[in-house]
Amino acid sequence: DFLEGTFQARSFYPYWVSGNEYVYMNSTAAINKVNIGTNVETAILNGEPWVSMGHLFFDIKISADQNYLAIFYMKTDGYADYVRTFSCDIYNLLNGFLRTKQILPDFPTENLQKFQWSPTGHDFSYVYEFNVYLYKNTFLNHHQITNDGDEQMVFNGIADFLHWIEITEDDSLMWWSPDSQYLAYATIKQTNVFAVEFSVYNNYQYPEMIRYPYPKPGTPIPTTTVTVVDLSNLSLTQLKTLNFSSWSDGYYLNSVTWRGNHILSPTWKNRISNEAVVENCETPMFNCSYVSGMTSKSTTGWLGHYKVAHIIPTNNDNVYITVRSLDGYQHITVFYVKENKDDWRTSGEFEVIPKKDEINDWIYFTSTELESKPGTALPRIRHIWRVKGSGSDKNRSCISCHLNEIFPDRCNWVTPSFSRDGSYVVINCGGSGNAAPVSTLHMRNSSGDYEFVGVVEGNEELIQTLNVVFLPNFMFFFLSHFSARYPFQRLHLPPNFNESKKYPMLVQVYSGPAYQQVRDRFEVSWKDYVSSARDVIVMSFDGRGTGYRGDKIMHQVYKKLGQYEPHDQIAAARKLATENQFIDQSKIAIWGWSYGGYELLNVIGEDADNVFKCGFAVAPVTKWEYYHTIWTEKYMQQPKDNPDGYAKGSALQGIENFRTHHFNLFHGTKDENVHFQNSAQLSKYLIDGDVKFGAFFAADDDHSMSRVNNGYRNIYKQLTRQMDLCFNL
C-alpha cells in the first residue's frame, strides 16, 4: 500500500505572488489566483490549450507584475539534473480569460535548463545549452550573455552535479537585484577536473557511454566566478574577489545574496568547508571586501550542518542575518558590517533556522527548543519561534507549540510558508506516528501577532484510511549511559504488540554526519510495512555524528567516518535486545541505503559477536576515495592530510565477520551519485575472501532506484524476500 501512495499525506505550500494571494493549477488544468484572506478565486488562464495538446505540466511561474505566466512541461530525463531539460510557453495575461501565447522568435521553447523572472516587471533570464540569455523591455530585446557554455567544461548560470547536490539551494546560479537593474550569474569551469564514465544499456546493440565531470577526493576541483550584467548598458563586470591565498587547493561558491540594490554578497568557503567568507561587492565596480566578523572558522569540524548558512538581507544594507555556531550550537546572529559586530539573538542548547519580518522587527525561526524547558532541546521536534531582531529584549516565544493542543499529536514537526510580506503564514504540521499531518492558516494582526484562521488541509481521507488500517505503534526513548548525549531511538512496534511474544527486529540505519533519522512526524515507508505486515519490530537510532544536538556530538566523527557509528549501532541493538525479552536475539537484521549502506558494511565488519544475523545494503559507498570531493572532504579532509582516516574508513575490511553474516547487496548500474564502482569493488573483495553473499544489480537504474519502470517497487520486493529468508517468516 505504501508503494501505491495509500498513505500519502498532503501539505499546503502556496505559490505566493503577494502578501495575500497565491496561484495554483486546478483539476481542469486552469491557472487560478486566490485571495487567501477572502477566499475569492480568480481565473487567470484557461487550461484547454495545453490539455488538448496532451502536455504534462510540472511547474508554473508568474511574472512579478503578474502580467505574464510561464508554464513548464515535457521534462526530459538525463544522467544528472543539469542535463534534464524542459519546454516552456509564456502567456500574456492582459487579454481576458482566453489569454494568448507570447510568441518570442528567439526564445527556444524546448530544451531549456533554467528560467527566472526578474523581481520587478517581466524581464527574464534563462539557461540554454549552458549559456545565459536575457529578455528585457517587454521582450523587445533579446541578448545572449555568454557563449562558451559546454556540457563537459563550462557551466554558465546553472550548477554542475557537485554544486547542485551539496552547495547551493537551487541548481540555478542566476541572481537578480531587487530592482531588476542587475543580473548576477556564476560560471563553473571544469578545467583539469577528472570525469567519470559508465555504460547505459537501454536497448542498444552497443552500450552508450555517459561521461561527466566528477571530482573525487584529492583531485582538482572546479573554479567558480561571479559576473554581473548591468541591464542599462549590458556591460559585464566580473567580481573582483579577494585573493584567498590560504585556500591554495581551491574553494567553492556557497551562496549569493543581494543586500539591497547595490551590494552583492557572495559567500565563499574553502575546499574542506571549515572556513568561509562573506563579501561586500558594491556597485558600480563590484570590488569586493570584507571585515573580520564576516569570516567563519571551525576548529572542531566543518561549518554548519550540511553547509555554511546563507545570509538573509534586511532593509538596512549594512545589516544581515545568518546562523553560526555559538558555544557549539547553531544560533541566529544579526551582523552589523560597518561596526564589525555580531548581535546574537538566540543562545542555548538548541538549534535554529531563521526568517525575517521587517515590519515588526521579528526574526522567525524553526527550532528544536522545548517550550516547557527554555534553553534545552528535544531534537526530534521542530516548532516555529520568534525573537526581536534588535534591542535588549531577546526573549523567545513559540508561535506553533499551542497547535499540538488543538490537534493532539499532529503538530510536533512544523514547516512554515510565509506570504511575500508575511501577512499570512501557513503552518504545515507534520503529524506524529499514526496521526495525520494538518496545515493551518494564520493571519498577522495589527500588533504583529499571528492569529489562527483555520485549517487549509486536514488530510481527512488519510485519517479515514488510518482508522481502518493496522499500522505500527511508536515509542521514542533515549538510551541512558550511552556514548552520545540524547541518543534517541524510535521503535516501530507491530499492531497488537504483545510483550510476552518474541519478535524479530530490523534496524534501519543511515547515521550520516549531521543527519537526523529519529523525527516525530508522520512517515510511512517500507519499515512500516515490515512492522505491520510481517510482525517485525523496526528500530531507528541516531548516534555519534548525527545532527541537531550540537557540534560536540556531530563533530566526533570528523576525519573518522565509519569508525564510531558502527559501534554505536551494534551497542544500541545489543542493549535494546538484552533489556527487552520481546526481542528475539537470534533474529536481528540491519539494512541501509547510500550512507546507510556504507554504515551497514562497517557494522558487519565490526560485528564479531553476531549481534546481527543479516544485512542488506543498497547503493553503498565502499571507499571514500570513490565519492565526490565536496561531501567527502568536508568530513574527511583530503587523503593527503588524513591518510589514516581514509584507510580506517574503508568498508572493504572485516572479511572474517562477513563470512558469518547473511549479506545481500543491491545497486543500480546508472547510479550518478554513488557510482556502481563501489559495489563492483565490494563484490570483488567478497569473492576474493570466499564469502557467500547475494547481489542484485539493476541495469540502467540510478541512486534512487526509480528511473527504471518498476525499479522502486522491485527493490522493496527483493528486500522483503531477503528479510523473510533471514527471519524464517
Q: Which of 262, 661, 675, 703 is catalytic?
A: 703
Q: What is the pLDDT of residues 536-579, one digit of tens each?
A: 999 998 989 999 989 999 999 999 999 999 999 999 999 999 99
pLDDT at 454: 95
- Spatial distance between the Cα atoms of 717 and 723, rounded to a whole number of angstroms: 10
pLDDT at 372: 92
Q: How many CB atoms lie within 10 A of CB 710?
A: 10
Q: Which of 160, 542, 671, 702 is catalytic?
A: 671
The residues of the chain scoring below 70 in pLDDT are 1, 49-50, 52-55, 96-98, 165, 168-169, 356, 358, 477-487
Judge whether 123 counts as a catalytic residue.
no
Angle (nearest 5°) at CA 51 between 48 and 53: 110
pLDDT at 102: 87
Classified by CATH at the fold level, domain 470-625+636-662+679-692 comes out as: Rossmann fold (3.40.50)
210 backbone dihedrals φ, ψ, rounded to 5°: -100, 135
Domain ranges of the chain: 470-625+636-662+679-692
Question: Is residue 633 classed exposed, middle or buried when 0-12, 13-18 and 19+ CB atoms within 10 A define those classes?
Answer: buried
Q: Which of 594, 607, 650, 675 is catalytic?
A: 594
Chain-centroid distance, C-alpha 39: 32
- Spatial distance between the Cα atoms of 572 and 325, rounded to a whole number of angstroms: 29
Judge whether 662 counts as a catalytic residue.
no
pLDDT at 477: 66
pLDDT at 248: 85
Judge whether 532 counts as a catalytic residue.
no
pLDDT at 486: 46
- Spatial distance between the Cα atoms of 363 and 360, rounded to a whole number of angstroms: 9
Residue identified by cell 505486515 is 533
Q: What is the pLDDT of residues 353-392, one digit of tens each?
A: 777 676 788 999 999 999 999 998 888 999 999 999 999 9
- Spatial distance between the Cα atoms of 448 and 357, rounded to a whole number of angstroms: 9
Residues 51 and 36 sit within 8 Å (Cβ to Cβ)? no
The residue type found at 554 is M
Residues 364 and 373 sit within 8 Å (Cβ to Cβ)? no
